[in-house]
């Protein structure tokens, strides 16, 4: 197997599911889902999101795992091994996408670190509620402070990944993913017991189809990609660490379920508190970093629940960043034959340099714009709307056409699935998934 190095596997099926779910869940479920549901009609956004996740999203998820396990390498090596050497370039595009994502995602991770520190010291609650927005804005525009938090967040991520798959990534996921769910449930109980909190629950589960718009459906399709970490090589990389005894369709179903469940829990964690305090559910991305601190400043024992909430954000951010960095490390190990420690240091330095550019885009470089977007926003848009969908399109077409025989074997290696199930997977990869991706790209552009 050319271009690969000896590597360890996930120690257990549970560890693999939790690590993959941690990547899929990430900060996006807590940060992005509530405000997307808030701006797209609540329940009428959730329904198409769930539908797309358990159909086309599932098909793409198992295709990435199948390609990874069949190729037994990173995104580049796996596609070369399964489809032939020229096709590895699409895996390389995925690695490049992941590197870009981690460079600006680490800035948000740094924000989570700062908010966690503020909550732990009580500094967050000492700020006047009406000044929370300006306080957060001052921090993100301070290039030095924001950049130092980015470096610390990257350092924590690198330490976890440096320990390898079984002792680092898997062990990390086994501890933090259950902890994340417990923390979220505690915060949900507090939110729904606030006076007026039940209105937030009604908002999330009020199926008023008059609120359903074509844009809500399109946003749900895009969020499916985002919430499952599809199209950027993460799941191909994790697939390479899978044992042959792991049932890919069954595991993919569990991962999709956990991704949906966490998104719903995030909505229940945030929306009741938002409604209880008379805040706007359409607040957008600032819902987590500005609106929620305001809410905690107004309720009894707010300091305690603010700490829990920020620890949730930090845990979610780290579970994603670990998976993103692992893709880059696997690429350097398999294609450049680097040792894990050397690959980790190289990635850290590269990400620190590129991350500095994005961090400064909120401050001294805020006037530098690409297509009317600051550098941070442009990278986010470019990766989410162009690169990740293109990666998903390539995987769908390769797994459904060029390497269907290999995909079929990997899907059915543990147990033989019905002809109708395999036909649906094949049809989804060949036609449904490409159509979905093209619509997402067209909408994003």
Helix 214-227 and helix 43-52: axis angle, to 10°? 50
Find, among 121, 137, 125, the residue nearest to 286 by Cα: 137
Mean pLDDT, the chain, integer: 85
Q: Is the model more confident about 99 or about 304? A: 99
Out of 63-67, 268-272, 365-369, the most confident range is 63-67
Give yes or no for a contact between 329 and 344, defined as CB atoms under 8 angstroms apart: yes
What is the mean predicted confidence (pLDDT) over 70-90?
93
Residue 339: CB atoms within 10 Å? 11
Q: What stretch of H or E contains 374? A: strand 373-374
What is the rounded CA–CA span in Å between residue 140 and residue 150?
A: 11
Of the two residues 118 and 26, the one the predictor is more confident about is 118
Residue that the structure tokens 């189809």 belong to? 209
Residue-wise pLDDT tens digits, 154-176: 999 999 888 877 676 777 778 77
The alpha-helical segments, DSSP class H, found in 122-169 are 132-141, 143-162, 164
Q: How many helices and strands in the chain, by DSSP H and E? A: 23, 2
| Tokens coding 4 | 């690969």
Distance separating alpha carbons of residues 309 and 315, to the nearest angstrom: 10
- Least Cα distance to 1 among 74, 109, 101 occurs for 74
386-422 tens-digit pLDDT: 888 889 899 999 999 999 999 999 999 999 999 999 9
Tell me: pLDDT of 204 over 60.
yes
Q: Is pTM, for the whole model, over 0.85? A: yes
Burial class (CB in 10 A: 0-12, 13-18, 19+), 275: buried
The 10 Å Cβ neighbour count of residue 360 is: 20
In the prediction, which pLDDT does 24 show? 65
The more confident residue out of 290 and 260 is 260
- Calculate the CA dihedral of residues 243, 244, 247, 248 and round it to 10 degrees: 80
CA–CA gap between residue 327 and residue 91 (Å, rounded): 10
Q: Are 316 and 270 in contact (CB under 8 A)?
A: no
pLDDT at 1 over 50: no
Instruction: Tell me what the mean pLDDT of segment 361-366 comes to.
Output: 90
Alpha carbons 144 and 146: distance in angstroms, whole number: 6
* Spatial separation of the C-alpha atoms in residues 249 and 411, rounded to whole Å: 6
pLDDT at position 18 is: 77
Q: What is the pLDDT at residue 41?
A: 77
377-389 confidence digits (pLDDT tens): 899 888 877 888 8
Q: Of the candidates 2, 55, 23, 66, which has an alpha carbon nearest to the alpha carbon of residue 435?
A: 55
CA angle 293/295/300 to nearest 5° reads 110
SS3 for 199-243 is HHHHHHHCCCHHHCCHHHHHHHHHHHHHHCCCCCCHHHHHHHCCC
Q: At what angle do helices 198-205 and 248-276 cross, to 10 degrees?
A: 130
Residue percentage of the chain with pLDDT more than 70:
92
- Examine the pLDDT at 442 and tell me if it is beyond 70: yes
| Sign of CA pseudo-dihedral 64, 68, 69, 70 | positive
State residue 7's pLDDT score: 55
How far, in Å, are 17, 84, 168, 362, 415 from residue 249 at the CA level? 12, 25, 25, 42, 10
Sequence-ordered strand ranges (E) for 66-197: none
Asked whether the predicted pLDDT for residue 117 surpasses 80, the reply is yes
**Residue 19 scores a pLDDT above 80:** no
């Amino acid at each position: 197997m050319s271009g690969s190095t000896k590597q360890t596997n996930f120690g257990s099926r549970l560890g693999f599911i939790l690590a993959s779910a941690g990547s899929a869940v990430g900060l996006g479920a807590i940060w992005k889902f509530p405000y997307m549901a808030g701006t797209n009609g609540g329940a009428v956004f959730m329904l198409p999101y769930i539908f797309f996740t358990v159909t086309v999203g599932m098909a793409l998820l198992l295709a990435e795992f199948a390609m990874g396990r069949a190729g037994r390498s990173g995104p580049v090596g796996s596609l070369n091994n399964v489809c032939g050497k020229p096709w590895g370039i699409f895996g390389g595009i995925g690695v490049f996408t992941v590197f870009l994502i981690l460079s600006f995602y680490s800035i948000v991770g740094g924000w989570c670190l700062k908010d966690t520190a503020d909550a732990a010291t009580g500094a967050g609650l000492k700020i006047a509620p009406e000044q929370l927005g300006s306080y957060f804005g001052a921090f993100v525009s301070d290039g030095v402070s924001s950049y130092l938090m980015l470096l610390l967040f990257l350092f924590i991520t690198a330490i976890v990944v440096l320990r390898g798959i079984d002792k680092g990534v898997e062990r990390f996921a086994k501890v933090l993913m259950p902890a994340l769910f417990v923390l979220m449930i505690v915060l949900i109980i507090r939110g729904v017991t606030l006076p007026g909190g039940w209105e937030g629950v009604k908002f999330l589960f009020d199926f008023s189809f008059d609120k359903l718009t074509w844009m809500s459906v399109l946003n749900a399709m895009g969020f499916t990609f985002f919430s499952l970490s599809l199209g950027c090589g993460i799941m191909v990389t994790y697939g390479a660490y899978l044992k042959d005894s792991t049932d890919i369709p069954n595991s993919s179903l569990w991962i999709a379920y956990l991704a949906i469940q966490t998104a719903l829990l995030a909505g229940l964690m945030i929306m009741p508190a938002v409604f209880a305090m008379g805040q706007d559910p359409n607040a957008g991305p600032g819902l987590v970093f500005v609106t929620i601190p305001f809410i905690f400043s107004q309720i009894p024992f707010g300091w305690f629940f603010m700490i829990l909430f920020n620890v949730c954000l930090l845990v979610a951010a780290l579970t994603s960043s670990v998976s993103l960095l692992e893709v880059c490390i696997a690429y350097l190990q398999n294609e450049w034959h680097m040792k894990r420690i050397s690959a980790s240091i190289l990635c850290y330095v590269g990400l620190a340099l590129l991350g500095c550019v994005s961090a400064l885009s909120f401050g001294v470089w805020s006037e530098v714009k690409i297509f009317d977007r600051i550098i941070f926003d442009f990278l986010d848009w470019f990766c989410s709307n162009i690169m990740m969908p293109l990666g998903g399109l390539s995987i769908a077409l390769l797994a459904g056409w060029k390497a269907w025989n290999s995909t079929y074997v990997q899907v059915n290696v543990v147990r033989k699935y019905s002809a109708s199930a395999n036909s649906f997977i094949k049809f989804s990869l060949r036609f449904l998934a490409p159509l979905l991706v093209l619509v997402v790209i067209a909408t994003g552009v």
